[in-house]
Amino acid sequence: MISSEQRAALIEAAIAGRKQAYAPYSNYPVGAALLMEDGRIITGVNVENASYGLTICAERTAVGKAIAEGYRKILAVAIATDNAGSPCGACRQVLTEFAGDVPVYLVDGAGNGRDTTLYTLLPDHFGPDHLT
C-alpha cells in the first residue's frame, strides 16, 4: 500500500514527464512514473521514430531506466496522457515482469482519471512465476 503523498508525487512526476516526450508523429505525449521499493520515482517518456516500429513507449522507457539503475521491483505506476489513456499490451506485459498487482493511476494533464491495478489491465497475466 502506498501513501496518498506517494500517489500524488507519482502522478505529478508522470504529468511533468510528458513535457519531455518526443512525439512529433502522433502528437500524443506520454509520461510514465514508477515508484520503486526505496521510494524513488523513476520516469520515462515515449520516444517516437520516423521508422514507426522503433518507437518506444513511456512505460518501457521508465522500466529500462529502473533496471539500468539496479531496481527490480515496482510498487506503483502512474501514466499521464492527453486523455488518461491506458498502456498498450506490450507495456502491460513488461510492467508485469517487475510488479505484482500494483496500483496503476491513469491521468490526463490535469491529474484527472482513474485508479486501477496492473492485473485488472492484464487479466490472466503471464510472469516469471509461471516459468517455475
- From the list 48, 59, 69, 97, the catalytic residue is 59
How far is it, in rounded angstroms, from Cα 50 to Cα 119? 33
How far is it, in rounded angstroms, from Cα 43 to Cα 92? 16
48 is a catalytic site residue? no
**Residue pair 31/15 in contact by the 8 Å Cβ criterion:** yes
**Quick one: which of 113, 117, 42 has its CA closest to 81?**
113
Q: How many CB atoms lie within 10 A of CB 119?
A: 17
What positions carry a catalytic annotation? Answer: 59
